[in-house]
Amino acid sequence: MEEHEQDQYIVNEARRYDYDRWLTALFAPAAAREAIFTLLAFNAEIARIRETVSEPLLGEIRLQWWREALEKIANGDTPPEHPVVSGLAGVIGSYGLPIAEFRQMVDARAADLDAVPFRTKEDWLAYADATGGLLAGLIFRLWGDETDAGLAVARHTGQAYALAGMIRSIPYHVRQDVLHIPGEMIEAKGLTADNLLIRDNREIFFAIVHDLGVLARDQQRAAAQQVKARPRSERPYYRLSSLTSLYLRRLEKAGYDPAHPALDVGAVRKIIALATGR
């Protein structure tokens, strides 16, 4: 694949599978956008493994393929021929990004292959940090700022966004026989993953989603307070936080029904939120 074709492929993948972050990247310095799109495409590749395989074992094989690709990049060996891998090798080399964090992102996706991946609320929060949090931190570095405090805020912002996304995607994952709700929260209501979603338990399900929404909102509010303490020059990076707030407000108005049409936010409304912070 020619270089310009590879670049276009990566941009298209980022836009198709991670539209929110793709939009946010448009506010980034022009010199960093291509690299950001590459990280988004990488994240999309590993996030979609569960939905592209017919059984968990095949998913494990695919995750291992990515681990080995990262190892080749780390060792300076020729990585597999894949547009995203090739682009990622260039970005990691140019920006000196920590390969260990990419490995952590891949390892975190092993949870996607379990029917009930989270045992506790802490597991749920940790997964969001190891996926959305790490991704946000890596992107923050591409904006040209690597202060420890700013990086921590970036990760917190990314984690909160991931939590909101996990709640909104519950119906989608249920169709794949995956329940992104901590098992302890289901058991606390005297139910199991098998009977939580039957019609008679509808209100209990909404109550659990409410509790998840509160956890996500608490993380979002904490992240928002941290953003206020950061220099104004960093503020553009944290625009994704405005989408998190928007989604959580919509969830509350929808009565914590993650399948409610109110949670479908159009492109224009997203752009307004990113541009105005509301």
pLDDT tens figures, 235-256 = 888 999 999 999 999 999 999 9
Given this model, what pLDDT does residue 236 score? 86
Q: How much is the average pLDDT of 203-225?
A: 98
The b-or-e profile of 251-260 (16+ CB within 10 A means b, else e) is beebebbbee
Q: How much is the average pLDDT of 31-48?
A: 98
d(C-alpha 14, C-alpha 175), whole Å: 23
Percentage above 90 pLDDT, the chain: 92
Given this model, what pLDDT does residue 145 score? 67
* pLDDT for 59 beyond 80: yes
Residue 144 neighbours by CB under 8 Å, 6+ apart: 29, 32
The mean-pLDDT minimum among 145-159, 212-226, 248-262, 264-278 falls in: 145-159
User: Which residue carries 């405005």 as its tokens?
Assistant: 242
Count of other CB atoms within 10 angstroms of residue 149: 12
| DSSP code for 201 | G
Given this model, what pLDDT does residue 45 score? 98
Q: How much is the average pLDDT of 265-275?
A: 97
d(C-alpha 180, C-alpha 195), whole Å: 15
Summarised one tens digit per residue, pLDDT across range 126-182 is 999 999 999 999 999 998 767 889 999 999 999 999 999 999 999 999 998 999 999
* Nearest of 8, 27, 18 to residue 273 by alpha carbon: 27
Rg (CA), the chain: 19
pTM, full prediction: 0.96
Name residue 246's amino acid. Answer: L
Q: Which domains does the chain have, with CATH numbers?
A: 1-113 (1.10.600.10), 114-278 (1.10.600.10)
Mean pLDDT of the chain, nearest integer = 96
Given this model, what pLDDT does residue 264 score? 96
* Nearest of 1, 80, 72 to residue 45 by alpha carbon: 80
Given this model, what pLDDT does residue 245 score? 97
The b-or-e profile of 205-225 (16+ CB within 10 A means b, else e) is bbebbebbbebbbebbeebbe
Given this model, what pLDDT does residue 13 score? 98
Q: How much is the average pLDDT of 4-23?
A: 96
